Amino acid sequence: MSGKRTDYISWDEYFMGVAHLAGLRSKDPNTRVGACIVSEDNKILSMGYNGFPRGCEDEDFPWEREGEELETKYPYVTHGELNAILNYRGGSLEGTKLYVSLFPCNECAKAIIQAGIRTVVFDSDKYEGTPMNRASKRMFDAAGVTYLPYSRSGREIRIML
């Protein structure tokens, strides 16, 4: 049988799938974000998802989105991108690529730039146009970080759990 096989997923499908799978570990009832950092030769270096820092138990901190600031999740949650950066124990992330299910906020954009990540592939940009989103893009542009929307192939990929 000659001819090229086409029944396998692309690298982008694989790594974005890993990012989404990592996001399923999040206990956030509203927004589950996963991230996957990949080397230039397509090796997974680290993963992360949004959640509270180590030692901060889920039952002891709020998941609410509205209310008094200290009674919401925002001052406490570590985003998936930052967790992926912090989880990496191998040295430099210079020149790597980040796959993330949601476009990075301005705080994560700073960490991505400082870590040396050169490309961000994102699935959703649901906060497009907000001040934080515009700040992220402005910093990425200034620092030379490429950001690309994930291009879906149209193929349905299902993970049976």
Examine the pLDDT at 8 and tell me if it is beyond 90. no
Q: Specify the 3-state DSSP secondary structure of 147.
A: strand
Examine the pLDDT at 81 and tell me if it is beyond 90. yes
**What pTM was estimated for this model as a whole?**
0.92
Examine the pLDDT at 2 and tell me if it is beyond 60. no
Which pLDDT value is given to residue 1? 47
Residue 77 DSSP class: P
Q: Count H helices, E strands: the chain?
A: 4, 5
Closest CA to 31 of 71, 73, 59, 68: 73
Give CA separation, 59 vs 25, 47, 53, 117, in Å: 16, 24, 13, 33
Examine the pLDDT at 3 and tell me if it is beyond 70. no
Top-confidence residue, 116 or 4: 116
Residues that are catalytic: 81
